[in-house]
């Protein structure tokens, strides 16, 4: 018995010092977030307003949704680089379905969701059954989709009244219902206040958070990501869990694509360039939130918000646009140091 | 002990922190002799090899090579001095993407005096000289990735021999070779012996040892427990010294089973292995013992649905039982505590409570939603039941000692009633008190289920089992009742004598060994 109690007493002595580091790891990032909000509120007139808050939320809505999807793949120990191209493919598909094929908004949405799910299944199949490493499989899928989305229109953007490859003019239009997804605002205290995309973001964030934290499937996904062999020996169908994670990621990305199409009102082949990097950054920054040191939905949402607030604040303080990527990258690197170096020390 | 030894070790000790792994080793290697070092897992074989090859530094004691002190600080120094080691993992010794010639001369590609330009012709010439020295006939232009494991091993040894070593250490060289491939390796070992190299051959495969050994040294818990160098070699004595004989064998009261739970007929778990029958009864604890690599884990995995048997049928509670996946086995009440908890048991990101609940989340949730209260209650109950030393169910697994980590793994599977509970080497890396706790708990709770424990160490077997089965060459070769054991017969079965030996020689040609 004495030999077993020994580790207890040794680990108890450096507790006080560890407690401070522990606290820093847990709440450091949230403290930084609050501090940043306070700083911008004082430094920039108009930052601390409801309108500004909604603008920030709207600016991060689509990347946030994609980031929540990629979080699911990170949870099972994978990674999905194809999310950006899934989103733009969904955007092009929605436009094509409505403008060229003259279908309704509902059909367009369904087509997009199916595309997302199918891409997710293919990604999962490549990774699980064809044993292609996750980064490479989804990188390949990314290239494939970037090319694929341009084929139906021979590389042109899709807009109402565009001329088609055969010389005729497209007769379809973006339906009002579809455009409302990007333009309608719900009343909340102030009339016409909360955009649909923000509502979708919040609903999806709560859903995926609840799924990962409170359902047995979410729990098993974490087990798969931490030790797949142990999960398998505990009876989990590891392959199915992995494939489902990519399906979630694909579907979330396609929802992002639908909102993008609705916001732009056209299928713009040049848009969505930053989606992948921004959403991956948000998910990785999320590792640092509350000292989780692992992918988590709350952290991802906070990560997206963090980037949004930072960029909005800097813009309002007249920082030039071309510094944005640098700042995002800088924040990401700092967050990664937070996650890996500090939490590693906290564990020892 | 050995008059003309070229390499001697005197009083070698090695500790990692407070744990002493080697407690005073004396060893002498004679030129032109194969000294086999036998030892169970954790006996300290690898540590000894790593000290000889300059990976670890010793805590105390001396080594001498050809009369001069030998204390390598790095592997390169050991090689230069003339002690060359071929490690267990074959692919560590070769570069798969390069051709044979380059592999054979790899050590000349870097370091002082090597040429800047790479001349394929010269490399091939030098490589041929290296290969000829050990009598290796192989296509120099072939990529190593296209070679069989045995050929890779040959290349790896030939490369080692290019240094003209006085001492060659082979660390379990046959562990991933088939018998036919192993025979080629033995022929090479014979040639090297004739050239006067002192060979330290580490293995626990009896067939290897019978083939190559001039001397056998048994290692147990970091000390040498037996040296056998008189013809004919006493193989059983060596096994006994390696596994350790327990004087108070049969200290427990062996119980009889109350009825068959799981039975298997004509089960075959490896190519060329003899089929065997197996019957597990309710309330009994059956230990399966045998040396490493005789198919214990393969049998455990077969019963748990991780492998499909090559032949035979199984019934569970009278009904046909053929699980296709672990999930199916668990549904039917067959649980496996797998070997090596760090890689196949513990979910490192989860706390104790979540590790315990892992296989039975369905029962701990309402629909799909986890019932955290029920989960935590189960964790607290199990922590108390198994006497796990921790602050609470939210502790990280990394905060626990090895024994307590293993108790968590046992607690995981004992949280729900099993029909068959299989434990594969459950006492590896576990201190004695934790082991006693777990064994007592297993015995106290054995009623109503069949318990099957796979163990290499004999004193662990005697401590826990009602009935003992012996495996050799992927089949069951003996059965004993604890308390009335014919110890010599048990040892000879483990060592692979008699019937199993005869069976093994008839099937040598097509037999392959699980990795």
Averaged confidence pLDDT in chain A: 88
* The predicted structure's pLDDT at residue B116: 66
Average pLDDT of span A290-313: 88
Q: Residue B418: count other Cβ atoms within 10 Å of its Cβ.
A: 21
Q: Is A227 on the interface with B (CB under 8 A)?
A: yes
Cα separation, B412 vs B394, in Å, equals 15
In the predicted structure, residue A9 carries a pLDDT above the cut 60: no
Q: Which CATH superfamily is domain B248-333+417-515 in?
A: P-loop containing nucleotide triphosphate hydrolases (3.40.50.300)
Closest CB from A8, A216, A232 relative to B365: A216
Cα separation, A327 vs A323, in Å, equals 6
- Subunit contact B348:A217, Cβ cutoff 8 A: no
Closest CB from B347, B370, B412 relative to A214: B370
List chain A residues with CB under 8 Å of B391: 8
* The predicted structure's pLDDT at residue A1: 36
Closest CB from B346, B361, B365 relative to A227: B346
- Token pair in block for residue A259: 């909102």
Interface probe, candidates B17, B328, B329, B359, chain A, greatest A C-beta count within 10 A: B359
Q: Which residue of A has its CA nearest to B402?
A: A4
Tokens 């796979």 belong to residue: B454
* The predicted structure's pLDDT at residue B184: 80
Q: Is A232 on the interface with B (CB under 8 A)?
A: yes
Q: Is B325 on the interface with A (CB under 8 A)?
A: yes
In the predicted structure, residue A287 carries a pLDDT above the cut 50: yes
Q: Is B416 on the interface with A (CB under 8 A)?
A: no
List chain A residues with CB under 8 Å of B404: 4
List pLDDT tens digits, range A15-56.
567 777 778 778 888 888 899 899 999 888 888 888 888 889
* The predicted structure's pLDDT at residue A60: 92
What is the signed CA dihedral for B156, B161, B166, B168, rounded to 10 degrees? 20
Cα separation, B451 vs A185, in Å, equals 64
Q: Is A13 on the interface with B (CB under 8 A)?
A: no
List chain A residues with CB under 8 Å of B345: 230, 233
Burial (CB count <10 Å: 0-12, 13-18, 19+), residue B277:
exposed
* The predicted structure's pLDDT at residue B512: 39
Q: Is A345 on the interface with B (CB under 8 A)?
A: no
List chain B residues with CB under 8 Å of A220: 361
List chain B residues with CB under 8 Å of A347: 396, 398
pLDDT grade for A328, boundaries at 50, 70 and 90: confident
Q: Is B110 on the interface with A (CB under 8 A)?
A: no
- What is the DSSP track for B64-128? EETTEE---SSHHHHHHHTEEEE-SSGGGSS-TTSBHHHHHTGGGTSSTT--SS--HHHHHHHHH
Q: How many CB pairs under 8 A join A and B?
A: 91
Assess contact for A271 and A137: CB atoms under 8 A. no
* The predicted structure's pLDDT at residue A168: 85
Assess contact for A215 and B365: CB atoms under 8 A. yes
Assigned fold of B7-243? Rossmann fold (3.40.50)
- Token pair in block for residue B284: 């009994």
pLDDT grade for A345, boundaries at 50, 70 and 90: very low
Residues 237-296 of A with CB under 8 A from B: 237, 294
Residues 365-384 of B with CB under 8 A from A: 365, 368-370
All CATH 3.40.50.300 domain ranges of chain B, comma separated, are 7-243, 248-333+417-515
In the predicted structure, residue A13 carries a pLDDT above the cut 50: no
* The predicted structure's pLDDT at residue B313: 94
* The predicted structure's pLDDT at residue B246: 52
Interface probe, candidates B306, B325, B347, B436, chain A, greatest A C-beta count within 10 A: B347
List pLDDT tens digits, range A163-219.
888 888 888 889 999 999 988 888 888 887 889 999 999 999 999 999 999 999 999
Distance from CA of A254 to the nearest CA of B (A): 26
* The predicted structure's pLDDT at residue A301: 94
* The predicted structure's pLDDT at residue B292: 78
Q: Is A1 on the interface with B (CB under 8 A)?
A: yes
List pLDDT tens digits, range B10-35.
999 888 777 778 888 899 999 999 99
Residue stretches of chain B with pLDDT short of 50? 1, 247-250, 499-515
* The predicted structure's pLDDT at residue B114: 62
- Subunit contact B364:A226, Cβ cutoff 8 A: no
**Pick from A173, A147, A193, A184: nearest CA to A265:** A173
Q: Is A8 on the interface with B (CB under 8 A)?
A: yes
């Amino acid at each position: 018995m004495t030999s077993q109690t020994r580790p207890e007493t040794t680990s108890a002595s450096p507790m006080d010092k560890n407690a401070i580091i522990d606290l820093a790891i847990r709440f450091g990032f949230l403290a930084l977030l609050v501090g940043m909000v306070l700083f911008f509120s004082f430094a920039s007139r108009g930052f601390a307003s409801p309108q500004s808050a909604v603008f920030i939320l709207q600016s991060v809505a689509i990347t946030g949704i994609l980031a929540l999807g990629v979080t699911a793949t990170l949870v099972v120990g994978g990674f999905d680089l194809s999310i950006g191209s899934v989103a733009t493919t969904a955007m092009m598909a929605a436009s094509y379905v409505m403008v060229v094929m003259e279908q309704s908004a509902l059909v367009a949405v369904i087509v997009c969701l199916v595309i997302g799910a199918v891409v997710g299944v293919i990604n999962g199949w490549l990774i699980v059954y064809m044993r292609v490493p996750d980064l490479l499989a989804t990188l390949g899928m990314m290239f494939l989709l970037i090319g694929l989305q341009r084929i139906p229109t021979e590389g042109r953007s899709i807009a109402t009244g565009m001329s088609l490859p055969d010389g005729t003019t497209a007769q379809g239009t973006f339906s009002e219902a579809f455009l409302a997804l990007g333009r309608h605002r719900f009343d909340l205290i102030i009339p016409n206040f909360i955009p649909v995309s923000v509502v979708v973001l919040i609903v999806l964030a709560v859903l995926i958070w609840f799924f990962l934290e409170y359902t047995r499937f979410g729990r098993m996904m974490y087990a798969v990501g931490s030790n797949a062999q142990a999960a398998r020996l505990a009876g989990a169908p590891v392959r199915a869990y992995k494939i489902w994670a990519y399906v979630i990621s694909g579907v979330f990305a396609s929802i992002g694509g639908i909102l993008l199409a609705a916001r732009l009102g056209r299928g713009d082949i040049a848009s969505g360039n930053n989606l992948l990097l921004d959403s991956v950054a948000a998910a990785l920054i999320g590792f640092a939130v509350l000292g989780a040191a692992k992918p988590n939905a709350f952290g991802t949402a906070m990560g997206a918000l963090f980037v949004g607030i930072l960029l909005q604040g800097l813009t309002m303080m007249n920082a030039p646009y071309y510094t944005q990527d640098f700042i995002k990258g800088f924040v990401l690197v700092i967050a990664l140091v937070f996650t890996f170096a500090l939490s590693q020390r906290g564990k020892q | 002990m050995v008059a003309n030894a070229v390499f001697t070790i005197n009083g070698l000790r090695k500790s990692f922190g407070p744990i002493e792994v080697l407690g005073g080793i004396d060893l002498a290697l004679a030129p032109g002799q194969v000294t086999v070092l036998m030892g169970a897992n954790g006996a300290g074989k690898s540590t000894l090899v790593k000290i000889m090859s300059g990976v670890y530094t010793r805590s105390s004691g001396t080594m001498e090579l050809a009369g001069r002190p030998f204390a390598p600080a790095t592997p390169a120094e050991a090689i230069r001095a003339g002690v060359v080691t071929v490690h267990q993992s074959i692919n560590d010794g070769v570069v798969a993407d390069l051709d044979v010639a380059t592999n054979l001369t790899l050590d000349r590609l870097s370091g002082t005096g090597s040429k800047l330009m790479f001349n394929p012709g010269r490399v091939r010439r030098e490589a041929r000289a290296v290969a000829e020295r050990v009598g290796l006939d192989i296509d120099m232009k072939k990529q190593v990735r296209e070679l069989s494991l045995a050929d890779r091993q040959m290349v790896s040894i030939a490369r080692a021999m290019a240094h003209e070593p006085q001492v060659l250490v082979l660390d379990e060289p046959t562990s991933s070779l088939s018998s036919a491939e192993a025979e080629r390796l033995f022929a090479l070992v014979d040639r090297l012996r004739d050239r006067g190299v002192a060979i330290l051959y580490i293995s626990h495969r009896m067939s290897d040892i019978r083939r190559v050994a001039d001397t056998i040294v048994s290692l147990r818990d970091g000390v040498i427990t037996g040296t056998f160098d008189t013809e004919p070699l006493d193989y059983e004595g060596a096994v006994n010294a390696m596994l350790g004989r327990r004087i108070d064998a049969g200290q427990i009261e062996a119980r009889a089973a109350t009825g068959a739970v799981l039975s298997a007929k004509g089960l075959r778990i490896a190519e060329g292995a003899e089929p065997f029958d197996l019957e597990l009864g309710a309330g009994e604890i059956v230990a399966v013992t045998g040396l490493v690599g005789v198919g214990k884990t393969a049998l455990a995995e077969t019963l748990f649905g991780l492998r499909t048997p090559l032949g035979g049928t199984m019934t569970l509670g009278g009904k046909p039982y053929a699980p296709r996946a672990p999930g199916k086995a668990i549904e039917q009440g067959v649980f496996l505590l797998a070997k090596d908890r760090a890689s196949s048991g513990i979910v490192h990101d989860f706390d104790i409570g979540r590790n315990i609940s892992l296989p039975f989340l369905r029962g701990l949730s309402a629909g799909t939603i986890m019932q955290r209260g029920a989960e935590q209650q189960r964790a607290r109950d199990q922590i108390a039941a198994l006497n796990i030393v921790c602050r609470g169910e939210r502790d990280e697994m990394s905060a626990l000692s090895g024994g307590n980590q293993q108790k968590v793994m046992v607690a995981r599977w004992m949280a729900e009633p099993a029909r068959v509970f299989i434990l594969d080497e459950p006492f590896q890396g576990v201190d004695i008190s934790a082991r006693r706790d777990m064994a007592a708990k297993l015995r106290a709770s054995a009623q109503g289920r069949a318990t099957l424990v796979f163990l290499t160490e004999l004193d662990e077997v005697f401590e826990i089992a009602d009935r003992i089965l012996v495996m050799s060459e992927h089949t069951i070769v003996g059965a004993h009742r604890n308390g009335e054991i014919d110890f010599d017969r048990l040892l000879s079965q483990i060592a692979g004598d008699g019937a199993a030996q005869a069976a093994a020689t008839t099937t040598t040609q097509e037999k392959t060994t699980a990795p």
